[in-house]
Structure 1
Amino acid sequence: MKSVGQLVYFIFFSTVVWAQNNRVIDSLVNEADKHQGKEKGEILTRLYWEYRGLDNVKASAVADRVMELAIQSNDPLLRAKALHIQGLAKASYGEFSNAIRKVEESLEIALALQDTSQVASVLNSLGNLNHSQSNYNRALDFYMRRIPYLKKNEKTAIATNYNNIGMIQEAIKDYPKALEYFRKALDLHRSTGNKRMEGGTLVNIGIVYFNLKKYDEALEHLLQGVSIIKGEGDKMILSIAYESMGNIHREQKKYKLAEEAYQESLLLSEALQDTYGIASATRNLGETLLAEKRYGPAIVNLMKSHDLAQSIGSKSIMMDTRRLLAQSYFETQDMANAYRNLMEYQVLKDSLFNETKSRQIQELQAKYESEIKDQEINLLNSETELQAAALYEERLIRNASIVSVFMIALVAFLLIRNYQQKIRNAKALALKNEEISSQQILQLQKDKKLEVMEAMIDGEEKERRRIAQELHDGLLGHLAAIKMKFDGMGSESNQDKFNQALSSLDGASTEVRRIAHNMMPQILIRYGLIEALSEFVGNIRMMNYFTITLTHSGIKQRFNPIVELSLYRAIQELTNNIVKHAKASVVLIQLSLISDLLMVTVEDNGVGFNVGIVETTNGIGINNVISRIEYLGGKVSIQSENNKGTTVNIEIDISNESALNI
């Protein structure tokens, strides 16, 4: 089952919070009627925060009205506030992409206006929105950027940051840290008397205890939070609390209590028109009915949850419902629908895996772009030095005019002497023409061999791509079909064997995906040799074969794709040889670029081998390495002795422009 900590919606705490009750709302409505333009927009902005969590429809309408007033009054700060609350209104309906776009536009305006209060509020919302999309690094970045804009006496805002950081720690499963930050937030909310925030933080603490499987402590904090939030009327936090309580009851096999809690959460989400909340509660209700063997109602709820999740693009809920539907159809002997849903589950699982990898690549790209910007700044800072150099050049030209006559005479003398030398060289040149022609013929033969070698390498890489594609599209599909058959073994009497078999099958799927990735790593194509080797070394390190270290220096540019691919394959082959044969405990990979000489060293402390024997037996692996490097015009040297480890050195001269990606 999925824990509440894995759900993709959170309690969005605002920087400024007003008591939520009808008296305050009525007062703001009456006050807004007395004003026009910018003043009315400011009052309606406050009204939005009161409606939010109580009535999302009215909150959204108020946000749109604030935008109309901002356009009419042509006030940039009011426009920033309107974009902010419009974005949050979109998020309440699950439209996270539109929400982030609007709130980021609000941040640009607030930064330009240097309005610290608005900047702090918007940074908080951007952190929450990115958190909701599992972009934890970006979320934490926004929370940290917010800190300089907070004042020491703003206890509510500081507590909000604690709460947000706690949710990040909960999401990455660092539960002790999460509890630490939630308790700091709880103390500050209690000191300010902010009941709504206190209740919401108690709910968060309850969710962490649930993830720690401390169900008594979890229920205790959730019930405390519900007791407080009922008085504040925040339906969103109540819906999260009830769904969390339902998960606890289901985990304890108290299915009737779980159903009651999910129904409460569902009613609250429907009142808020919270599509995500409805989909999540319905999914959990379906899973509970499945556990009770009430397959018909379970299928109805799971299909409803899937359709709602699909309408808002929530792949995590879609993936869960497909898995549970496959299990439900299997129990009713509907094998066709069971197979279809299991296939859809596998597709969604692979899609989420690929999106996770894509986010990692995007973070690498952002790092790369940041380095480019730093270089541009350095160029701008050098303009003053260039101007000074220009003045110096003028002085040199003036001084040069004084000696121009002398230089002209000297040049004339040298020209005459050079002409005489040319006459003497003409005869020698004629003698060398024949020798040069012979050398050109040899060069043409060499070029032809290089073309053949290039075609062989290109064919090899195309074959790797084909095999990787077939592994992914073919074998993974068969593994998924086998997995469905294992699901049929899932009776309680065979549960342990079934779970072990299913776990082994998941491991096989992961291994196939790893093999396909290693055969043609996309990170090498997009971000180059260093990033690809870093990922490769990280994967080797996780397997605990030995201690492996990668270092590099002087490499600041991309090389020609053939150079990068050949070096990557060579290092991969050498490392795999170490894994298979060397029995090493320490491996070092070093890359350095000095002037135009690229040097690579792969060294281990393993059992070593007789280099002469390997060279005479034509080992395929080492021959592949040597062929690739010689094709690049490089050299390979190997030093090894029995029980004294092995060192392989590679040198490539990249002074030729064709070796560089320029």
Structure 2
Amino acid sequence: MANITRIRTMQSLHTFLVAGLFFVLNLVIASQVIAADEPPTNEELEQQLEQAAGDKKTAIYLELAIKNRNEKPQLTIDYGKKALEHIRQYPNDEDEVLVLCNMAWSYMLLGQYDEAEELSVRGLEIAEGIDDIKSLIVPLNIAGLAYWRQGRYDEALALYHRALDIARELGDTSGESATLNNIGLIYVENGDSPKAFDYFTQAKNLGDKLGDKHKMTIAMNNIAGIYSSQSSYSQALEVQLEVLKVREELNDEPGTAEISLNIGITYIHIGEYEKAHEYLKRALNFYEPVGDTRAISQTLNAMGLAYFNQEQYDAAAVHYDKALYYARQTNDKVMEANALISKTELQIARHMPEDAQESLNKAMALVEEIGLKPLEVKTNFHQAEIFLIRNQLDEALTHIQTAIELATEARERAQESDSYELLSRIYEERGEYQQALEAYRKHKVLDDDIFSQTNSDKLSQLQSLYEAEKRTKRIELLERDKELQAAKIQQQRFERNVWIFSLTLLLFIALLLYGRYSQRKVNQALSRALETQTGLMQAVAHEFRAPLARVQLGVDMLEELDDGDKKVFQNINRGLGELDSLLKEILALLKMESRQELEEFQPVIVGDLLAEQIEAYQPLHPNKTITRAEPPRGPAEFQLPKKHFEWILSNLISNAMNYSEQQVELGYRSSPSALEIYVDDDGPGIAKEDRDKIFEPFVRLDPSRTRSTGGTGLGLAIVSRLARLYRAEVRITTSDLGGSRFVIYWPLHKYIK
């Protein structure tokens, strides 16, 4: 009986996750955030914050909060706090309500229900003052969820019913469907399965009406949960397999993993443990790569239960320990308490009372902090079991009586029944056989009531299903007749259009073949022209260098013979030096453009490379200072094309030294996917509209960036092309030193040309 109670608790926990997933969808709709095909990353949104102001900045903070609330709830809380600070300067009640609701949701994921309740109630109070009643739907549901997670079902139900009335008044079908599911889940907790079944059925019908299979499968999954709670596992499994098929058709991987977990739990009920492991592993194979620690913990706990029922206690212990580890990673106290209770049950079954007591003490501390009565019932129940094993009968009697009181108060009839059965055994050990008999009779009465209620619930559900099936069949007949008429018309259109399509296809193929033939000839001509042009430019550059060298030699000889004014010769030498540098850069650029070859990657210690560059450039500019920022924590060695990377870095540093006033600073940081190196200067900076231009060859910006400051005008062009060759990116922003910051984002994955 203890195992049955435990499984039901697991299902209750899973039901909470289903409601959470659906409620997230409700929040997205209510917040009116339009999702793009490829939503912006956190980094991109952070960059937008730099340019945003006023309400736009609040909107970006809100988008960041919504984006991270499931995977990184603490990040949502941090962004929410920033958004609230900004809202104080630019008041907006609607945005403040959504920020508070998202923060409350994140606190619930972290198991911090007091903070969640405080923020959700505050959001509801603000929404009460907004003229648009639609703004009440989200805070009503969030506040209801906060009450529900604390076992305050009546308060939660009142808020949900109010949200349902508003959704119906506004014709908000999506909000109505979400709230119907939440109300149904409350009735499940209250043990009123017929009412829960009715609300889930309404939610399912709304999903059908909207054509939203996702909403429909959520309601169906909850209906399966009712079947399972009534021990109708075959019916539950039938519904769950249907849900699985739909979610696979929708290519909904998270939904498929979720229903696979449910199916695995149902197979545990049925006793087909190998099948259970098959579906639970499928769920785990999805959750582990995405890092969903909460779902991983729940799945591992279920796998541990399967091994426990197979009496493979060592395997069960391993999975319970892993589930406990991930629950602590998630910082979900409910999950952690359940994992500890699982360990306690296993240790009791293995006759290890001392270990069981240690696990239970940790669980009881968490349960006392959370304040959930169903978990208090379980901890008192297992404490009584441990005292019974130790033959501490008075203490066992005290705890089992507490468990019965709490189970009665929480309307946990299955746990109340199990507790009376254990009470009977305690009285029997004490030699109080009359009390033992009375306790056992109460256990039997409760079991019979549960059995009768289950059958009554099944009858009500069957009647509801029969009426729904009749309506469905009537609609299907009308739709089938309509489809038949449409098929006849479609057949006539098809026969008429097939010849037109065939002729059009033949013409298209002919044009395509001719176009490809013409394009091939054009490409060949262009390739030959480019090769000729490149060769000619290289030849000109090489030929140009030879006479320049001779002129340079003659000037040097004149300079030695003539002791007069050497300024003219110095100017000639300077000009010739500039021409020589220019030709070298042109040849390098041409070579790079024509070859496009990648250098072999090798290990490079970036800090040492920066130090070498500082040592090379500092003597060339004795009146300026070049420094290196404090290296960050983490890896210092990276796989890089050393020669090309030094070329890029050298050009960036040379550019910064030329245009700085007194100071240049180098630094770097890294992430698992990219290396980021920046070069700061305290020069005049670059206007935003000019930042793309400076990567073009021979482009200089007036008045500050001209040949008088040095350089050929090709250094940054070479940087841009080398970066593009390795799929890196060069950006320009404003430096903390007051000038420009050149940042190179270098991908760390292996480059494939």
If the length of structure 1 is used for normalisation, what is the TM-score? Answer: 0.50
Q: Residue 303 in 1 paired to residue 401 in 2?
A: yes
- Superposed, 1:176-575 pairs within 5 Å as 176-374=274-472, 377=475
The change in CA–CA distance for 1:355 and 1:235 in structure 2 (over 3 A counts) is same
Quote the offset at 1:222 in angstroms: 1.2
User: Take 2:457 and 2:433, find their aligned partners in 1: how far apart are those partners?
Assistant: 36
The change in CA–CA distance for 1:231 and 1:379 in structure 2 (over 3 A counts) is closer
Give the aligned partner of residue 79 of structure 1. Answer: 137
The change in CA–CA distance for 1:355 and 1:98 in structure 2 (over 3 A counts) is closer
Q: 2:264 aligns with which of 166, 187, 206?
A: 166
* Partner SS, residue 230 of structure 1: helix
User: Take 1:97 and 1:339, find their aligned partners in 2: how far apart are those partners?
Assistant: 33
The farther-off stretch of 73-82 and 196-205 is 73-82
Are the counterparts in 2 of residues 196 and 228 from structure 1 also a CA contact under 8 Å? yes
Quote the offset at 1:65 in angstroms: 5.3
Q: 1:90 aligns with which of 148, 151, 172?
A: 148
The change in CA–CA distance for 1:378 and 1:119 in structure 2 (over 3 A counts) is closer
Residue type of the partner of 1:90?
A: W
Are the counterparts in 1 of residues 200 and 223 from structure 2 also a CA contact under 8 Å? yes
Quote the offset at 1:68 in angstroms: 5.7
Give the aligned partner of residue 59 of structure 1. Answer: 116
Are the counterparts in 2 of residues 87 and 98 from structure 1 also a CA contact under 8 Å? no
* Partner SS, residue 204 of structure 1: helix
Q: How many residues in Structure 1 have an aligned counterpart in Structure 2?
A: 384
* Partner SS, residue 8 of structure 1: helix
Are the counterparts in 2 of residues 83 and 106 from structure 1 also a CA contact under 8 Å? no
Give the aligned partner of residue 103 of structure 2. Answer: 47
Quote the offset at 1:231 in angstroms: 2.2
User: Take 1:124 and 1:238, find their aligned partners in 2: how far apart are those partners?
Assistant: 25
The farther-off stretch of 319-328 and 140-149 is 140-149
User: Take 2:471 and 2:278, find their aligned partners in 1: how far apart are those partners?
Assistant: 38
User: Take 1:110 and 1:73, find their aligned partners in 2: how far apart are those partners?
Assistant: 29
The farther-off stretch of 36-45 and 211-220 is 36-45
* Partner SS, residue 391 of structure 2: coil
Are the counterparts in 2 of residues 80 and 110 from structure 1 also a CA contact under 8 Å? no
The change in CA–CA distance for 1:193 and 1:302 in structure 2 (over 3 A counts) is same
If the length of structure 2 is used for normalisation, what is the TM-score? Answer: 0.45
Residue type of the partner of 1:353?
A: F
The farther-off stretch of 13-22 and 315-324 is 13-22
* Partner SS, residue 169 of structure 1: helix
Are the counterparts in 2 of residues 86 and 102 from structure 1 also a CA contact under 8 Å? no
Are the counterparts in 1 of residues 244 and 260 from structure 2 also a CA contact under 8 Å? no
Quote the offset at 1:373 in angstroms: 2.8
The farther-off stretch of 318-327 and 156-165 is 156-165
User: Take 1:135 and 1:59, find their aligned partners in 2: how far apart are those partners?
Assistant: 36
Q: 1:352-411 deviations in whole A, cap 9, x for unaligned?
A: 221232233234323432354357658988999xxxxxxxxxxxxxxxxxxxxxxxxxxx
Q: 1:462-512 deviations in whole A, cap 9, x for unaligned?
A: xxxxxxxxxxxxxxxxxxxxxxxxxxxxxxxxxxxxxxxxxxxxxxxxxxx
The change in CA–CA distance for 1:308 and 1:73 in structure 2 (over 3 A counts) is farther
Give the aligned partner of residue 573 of structure 1. Answer: none
The change in CA–CA distance for 1:200 and 1:28 in structure 2 (over 3 A counts) is farther
The change in CA–CA distance for 1:122 and 1:380 in structure 2 (over 3 A counts) is closer
User: Take 1:343 and 1:336, find their aligned partners in 2: how far apart are those partners?
Assistant: 11
The farther-off stretch of 285-294 and 303-312 is 285-294
Quote the offset at 1:305 in angstroms: 0.6
Quote the offset at 1:318 in angstroms: 0.8
- Provide the aligned C-alpha RMSD in A: 3.9
Quote the offset at 1:253 in angstroms: 0.6
Residue type of the partner of 1:319?
A: S
User: Take 1:321 and 1:183, find their aligned partners in 2: how far apart are those partners?
Assistant: 33
Unaligned runs of 5+ in 2: 25-68, 154-185, 190-195, 483-753
User: Take 2:464 and 2:266, find their aligned partners in 1: how far apart are those partners?
Assistant: 21
* Partner SS, residue 52 of structure 1: helix
Q: 1:18 aligns with which of 57, 61, 70?
A: 70
User: Take 1:62 and 1:132, find their aligned partners in 2: how far apart are those partners?
Assistant: 33
Unaligned runs of 5+ in 1: 385-662
Residue type of the partner of 1:43?
A: V
Are the counterparts in 2 of residues 90 and 98 from structure 1 also a CA contact under 8 Å? no
The change in CA–CA distance for 1:247 and 1:382 in structure 2 (over 3 A counts) is closer
Quote the offset at 1:144 in angstroms: 4.2
Residue type of the partner of 2:353?
A: Y
User: Take 1:321 and 1:356, find their aligned partners in 2: how far apart are those partners?
Assistant: 20
User: Take 2:152 and 2:279, find their aligned partners in 1: how far apart are those partners?
Assistant: 27
Are the counterparts in 2 of residues 329 and 335 from structure 1 also a CA contact under 8 Å? yes
* Partner SS, residue 2 of structure 2: coil
Residue type of the partner of 2:402?
A: K
User: Take 2:220 and 2:118, find their aligned partners in 1: how far apart are those partners?
Assistant: 23
Are the counterparts in 2 of residues 28 and 43 from structure 1 also a CA contact under 8 Å? yes
The change in CA–CA distance for 1:118 and 1:364 in structure 2 (over 3 A counts) is closer
Are the counterparts in 1 of residues 121 and 139 from structure 2 also a CA contact under 8 Å? no
Quote the offset at 1:129 in angstroms: 7.2
The change in CA–CA distance for 1:111 and 1:369 in structure 2 (over 3 A counts) is closer
Are the counterparts in 2 of residues 182 and 205 from structure 1 also a CA contact under 8 Å? yes
User: Take 2:78 and 2:306, find their aligned partners in 1: how far apart are those partners?
Assistant: 37
User: Take 2:469 and 2:327, find their aligned partners in 1: how far apart are those partners?
Assistant: 47
* Partner SS, residue 403 of structure 2: helix
The farther-off stretch of 245-254 and 12-21 is 12-21
User: Take 2:406 and 2:200, find their aligned partners in 1: how far apart are those partners?
Assistant: 25
* Partner SS, residue 93 of structure 1: coil
Are the counterparts in 2 of residues 70 and 76 from structure 1 also a CA contact under 8 Å? no
User: Take 1:106 and 1:357, find their aligned partners in 2: how far apart are those partners?
Assistant: 23
Give the aligned partner of residue 510 of structure 1. Answer: none
User: Take 2:4 and 2:410, find their aligned partners in 1: how far apart are those partners?
Assistant: 19
Are the counterparts in 2 of residues 166 and 181 from structure 1 also a CA contact under 8 Å? yes
* Partner SS, residue 18 of structure 1: coil
User: Take 1:128 and 1:77, find their aligned partners in 2: how far apart are those partners?
Assistant: 31
Quote the offset at 1:44 in angstroms: 3.6
- Superposed, 1:591-602 pairs within 5 Å as none
User: Take 2:119 and 2:229, find their aligned partners in 1: how far apart are those partners?
Assistant: 24
User: Take 1:187 and 1:181, find their aligned partners in 2: how far apart are those partners?
Assistant: 10
* Partner SS, residue 9 of structure 2: coil
Residue type of the partner of 2:333?
A: K
The change in CA–CA distance for 1:4 and 1:349 in structure 2 (over 3 A counts) is closer
Are the counterparts in 1 of residues 387 and 395 from structure 2 also a CA contact under 8 Å? yes
Quote the offset at 1:112 in angstroms: 6.6
User: Take 1:305 and 1:80, find their aligned partners in 2: how far apart are those partners?
Assistant: 36
Give the aligned partner of residue 79 of structure 2. Answer: 27
Quote the offset at 1:31 in angstroms: 2.6
The change in CA–CA distance for 1:94 and 1:319 in structure 2 (over 3 A counts) is farther
Are the counterparts in 2 of residues 25 and 50 from structure 1 also a CA contact under 8 Å? yes
The change in CA–CA distance for 1:109 and 1:37 in structure 2 (over 3 A counts) is farther
Higher relative contact order (CA 8 A, sep 6+): 1
